[in-house]
Structures are given as C-alpha cells and as structure tokens.
Amino acid sequence: MREDTLQQFCEKLSAKTPTPGGGSVAALSGALACSLGSMVARFSKDDATAQKWDKQRDRFLDLILEDSQAYDGVSAVFKLAKDDPARPGRMQEALLKAAAPPAEGLRLITAFIAELAEFAPKAKGSVASDLAVSAYESEAAARGFMLNVRANTSMLKDKAVAAPLEAEGARNLEALLAGTKRVREVVNG
C-alpha cells in the first residue's frame, strides 16, 4: 500500500473489504502529522528534527500495511467453521496480533506530539497553522489507534492480557491530548 497513489488507497479503503480500515487510516494520519511537523521544522531551520520526524513518518507508513495484514489474520479466523475446535484459540492469537500495530502507533504518535509540543515555541510564525494542523492530525491518529486497540482487545477472553493494553492506550491518549493542548496554546498565544 505504501506505493499506492492517494486515489488507489482511497479506492481500497472504500471497498467492501475489512482492510484497509480504521487502523490503516490512523497510521496514515500519523504519517501526515509527522510530515507536516517535518515541514515546520525545515522552515524553522531545524533539519535534524525534520529528519527525525521523517523517520517516524516512514514507520507510520509501514504501519498502514502492517495493520491491514494483522487484521487479515482475524478475518481468516472468522472464515473457519464455528465448530472447528482450533477456532477459539486461533481467534485469540489473531486478535492479540491485530492489537499490536495500533498499540505501537499510539505509542509512536504520543512520543511525536511530546516532541512537537517541545519544538512549538521554536517554530517559525509563518508556519504556526501547519504546526497546529500537525497536532490535530496527531490527535486524529491517536483516537483512531485507541479505537482499534479497543476493538481487538474487547474480544479477547483473557482480560489480564487485554487490560494492560487498554490501560497503556488510555495513558498514551491522555498524554497526547495534553501535548496537543500545549501546541494549541503556543499557536494561539
């Protein structure tokens, strides 16, 4: 999917298939947030930060496909006969694997927004709106990742496995929202 045009990706997204779906869109939002952050850093004459965020963007681009592939595993288990004795165990394994890409994405976007909030006072004024859009896109990514973590963990039978993933996600989302607020305060004066 990484080589798809925007048109091709959107056509895949709008198809009547489970993937790509919300997790892939959250990953794309993360990539867009990092890209815009990189642009702001470059205009603010901070190439080192821009290059760091370019690498983070690339990881989000990888997560677009990884999220789809992970959920394809869940879809494959849904196709097994309901009376297949292996189905319940395989479903639990598939759900745990499907929760991994959005959980990672949420960790990554939370780290990015912390860096963006720290960078915000140094950003050139002429790109302040771009800085804010990057923060808002980060929030969209984080909310999408959290929804996808919960969608997968809610079907896990072992709540001892699900609970830490959900708790970590909630902490990350809270930290991200605080970072977004700090960026908004810098932009709005």
Look up the pTM and report it.
0.95
Q: For residue range 87-123, what is the model confidence (pLDDT) as tens digits?
A: 999 999 999 999 999 999 999 999 999 999 999 999 9
Looking at the chain, the whole-number percentage of residues with pLDDT higher than 90 is 98
**Cα 152 to chain center, whole Å?**
15
* Closest to 77 (Cα-Cα) out of 69, 86, 68: 86
Q: Rounded to whole angstroms, how far apart are CA atoms 29 and 32?
A: 5
If phi > 0 it is left, if psi is from -120 to 50 it is alpha, else beta; for residue 19 that is: beta
pLDDT at 1 over 80: no
- The residues, any chain, with a CB within 8 Å of residue 5's CB and separated by 6 or more, are none
